[in-house]
Amino acid sequence: MNHLLDAFESIYQHNKDLRVFYSPGRVNIIGEHIDYNGGLVFPAAISIGTYGVVFLRNDRKVRLYSANFIDQGIVNIDIDNLAYDENHGWANYAKGILNLLINKGYQIQYGFDLYVDGNLPTASGLSSSASLEVLMTYIADTLYKLNLTRVEMALLSQEVENKFMGMHCGIMDQLIIACGIKDKALLMNTATLEMEASNASFDGYQWVIMNTNYQRKTTDSKYNQRVRECSQGLKILKEKYQIKYLCELSIDELPYIRKLITDDTIFHRVSHVVTEQNRTIKAKLMMKKNDPIGFAQLLNESHYSLKNDYEVTGIHLDTLVEAALKYGAIGARVTGAGFGGCAIALVENDKIKHMKEKVKEIYNKKTGLNVEFYEVTFENGVGEVK
């Protein structure tokens, strides 16, 4: 806290009436690339994220500074001019939130000074962008007394990601960051936004996040292409099935779906979506049964599907997962969009140290990069730090 307040003062040369907020990152345990297909997902808010220190001004100026992008310095904007500007980089997320709120009729009368500092690695698959968006929405809700619900905050943040930033993501990231519950994961129905809190840990095991440190920019990756491919599959299947989302389909229908979709690529995308939905349903049962072995098998099947049917892994993620499984993890998979970023592993407590050593050695030898490990706890969603 002292570091944040001192940093704000050093940037803006004042320290009066400051408020501090925290927005977590997230890890998705299982249910990948199906949130934009109306699927069930199983994410948790985590103990690394994004902090914001803010001062409410009495004019319409907004000053933004991020310790994660120090080369940009202070970005000066005006509430009356919130158009996207490529030169403003990360600050466009803040501009997008304010712009959307104003367009929806909310009263944003005054600007603010904001200092942001996050310990989420960017482009890692832990939702640093969604963490920032939800942080901004929560700050705006607090400063301007907008009385938004947490689900409304999530939906507004997603709309900015989709329409202002050009990333066609589903609702999962923003929803878990807004609504996370300490020590729990949330089984989310992304079609209805219903949520059910669930235990997400097993005695004797620890979740370990492994960061490839292979930087990719999701907006420029094939993520949006995957969204389009799923839309193409849905369009074909709507000629026979009365469905709104791919995840309404049963795994038993895949042989019939194969006859309808002649394009191999589109079929493989649909196959992943349908089977991943089935795995997420099974994962809930495994958690209730306290069956780490059964749960781990679903993680491994998920990674195989993401590698072969959805093609979003690559050498960096595959190397981490294969090495982790060889040296102590009972289950492992890519988490997040893929194309780099992070993987998650379920590891016996007494094997974590050895696994990390071996994974680090193998990964560096094969890729020339250094893996980073995070042993996180599951936390509450966005809020003010008192």
| 350 catalytic residue (yes or no) | no
Residue among 301, 264, 288, 254 at smallest CA distance from 31: 301
Q: Name the β-bridge partners of 66.
A: 116
Task: Judge contact between 198 and 187, C-beta under 8 A.
Answer: yes
- Report how far residue 207's alpha carbon sits from residue 220's, in angstroms, rounded to the nearest whole number: 29
Helix, strand, coil abundance in the chain, percent, nearest 5? 45, 20, 35
Residue pair 44/173 in contact by the 8 Å Cβ criterion: no
Rounded CA separation 50/35 (Å)? 23
9 Cβ neighbours under 8 A, 6+ residues apart: 15
- Catalytic annotation, pick one of 35, 141, 173, 309: 173
Residue type, position 133, single letter:
E
**Alpha helices of 23-149 — where are they, by DSSP H?**
91-103, 128-143
At how many degrees (to 10) do helices 150-159 and 128-143 cross? 120
**CA 110 – CA 251 distance, rounded (Å):** 52
3-state secondary structure at position 143: helix
Do the Cβ atoms of 346 and 321 come closer than 8 Å?
Answer: no
The DSSP result for 257-275, as a single string, is HHHH---HHHHHHHHHHHH
Active site residues: 173
